[in-house]
Structures are given as structure tokens and as C-alpha cells.
Chain A
Amino acid sequence: MDYSGYNQGGDSSSKKQEVMDQVRSELALANAQELINKINEKCYLKCVPKPGARLESSEQACLSKCMDRYMEAWNVVSRSYVSRLQRESQNQMGGGM
């Protein structure tokens, strides 16, 4: 007898949940990596204009501040972009002029 039909709903649901969790975490990881790469690039440019034999403490302090500033800037940009998208979609739904 074929018992594979039993508990198929349970297996399906947990498999689906597994895939969803995996997709979410892979996307989050990719996003974090991109952010880190950008911070590395931008803050190196701003804080280490003349690379010496080591990272000076002043350069390290600048890098710390720069990380905070970039993440803040990213949030400002994100909020502006999302609210603009919402405005544009509302304009379209409200009917054209």
C-alpha cells in the first residue's frame, strides 16, 4: 500500500516554511554583504586618504564614525525612496489627470 499520501499536508507545510526561511536569510545575507562592501569602499576613501604603514587611531576613529554615518544615510535614502514609491502608486491608483 502507498502510505506516501499520509501526512503529506504536514510535510508540505514544513517544507514550504523551510524554503521561505532559507530565501529570507539568503536575501538578508546578500543585503548585509552589499552594505558592508559599500561602507568599506566609501569609508576607506573618506578616512584613509594617504595609506601609511598602519591604520592610525585617528583613521580608526574616522572609520567608526563613517560606518554610523553611512548606515544613517542609507536609512534616509531608503525612507525617501519607499515614500516616493508609495506616492507614485497612489497617484496612479487615484486615476490620471
Chain B
Amino acid sequence: MSQQAQLTESDQRELAQFIQVEKARAEIQETVHTLADTCWDKCIFKVNNKMDRSEETCLANCVERFLDTSLFIVNRLESMRGSGV
């Protein structure tokens, strides 16, 4: 007997939506892992007893500039496309 047959339609819909939400959340977490990796290398040089303000600021800037870079690249590619490249 198929397991699908046991779920009502509304439960199936709820499950499908739940999975969509969790998928989006997992993608965000994956990006955070990538950013944390890159920004740790860029910002943390010594292992101290506490994280100081400059390191915290560096990490936040690192994230923001990475996303700015992403937008920049997309926009530039679009304008390159527009000029018939």
C-alpha cells in the first residue's frame, strides 16, 4: 500500500508548503556557512578570549560587501547583454 494514500489532500498541501519553507531555510543556512568560512579567513587572525568590536564590524562588512559584489556582477552582466555582447 502506497504511503501517499494515507495523507489527506490538505495534509499533503501543508506538508508540501512546510518542505518549501524548510528548503528555503536550509539554503540560507548553506549560504551562511559559506560566508562564515570566507569572512573568518578575512577577519579573524588571532584566536582571542573574546571577539572584539573590530572583528565583529569586519564580519558584518564582509557579508554586506559580498552581497554588494553579487548584485554588481548581476547588473554588469545584464548591461553587457544589453549592449549586444
- CB-based contact B19/A23 at 8 Å: yes
Residues from chain B with a CB closer than 8 A to the CB of A23 are 18-19, 22
Distance in angstroms between the alpha carbons of A78 and B28 in the assembled complex = 9
In the complex, how many residues of chain B place their beta carbon closer than 8 angstroms to a beta carbon of chain A? 38
Residues from chain A with a CB closer than 8 A to the CB of B26 are 27, 30-31
Residues from chain B with a CB closer than 8 A to the CB of A9 are 8
A63-97 contacts to B, CB under 8 A, are: 65-66, 69-70, 72-74, 76-78, 80-82, 84-85, 88
In the complex, how many residues of chain A place their beta carbon closer than 8 angstroms to a beta carbon of chain B? 38
Distance in angstroms between the alpha carbons of A38 and B31 in the assembled complex = 13
Give the nearest-CB partner of B59 in chain A. A76
Q: Is B40 interfacial (CB-CB < 8 Å)?
A: yes
B34-72 contacts to A, CB under 8 A, are: 35-37, 39-41, 43-44, 47-49, 51, 55-56, 59-60, 62-64, 67
With A19-B15, A43-B47, A73-B39 already in contact, 7 other A-B pairs whose C-beta atoms are closer than 8 Å = A69-B48, A70-B36, A72-B51, A73-B36, A78-B36, A81-B67, A84-B67
Q: Which residues of B contact A (CB under 8 A)?
A: 3, 6-8, 11, 14-15, 18-19, 22, 25-26, 28-33, 35-37, 39-41, 43-44, 47-49, 51, 55-56, 59-60, 62-64, 67
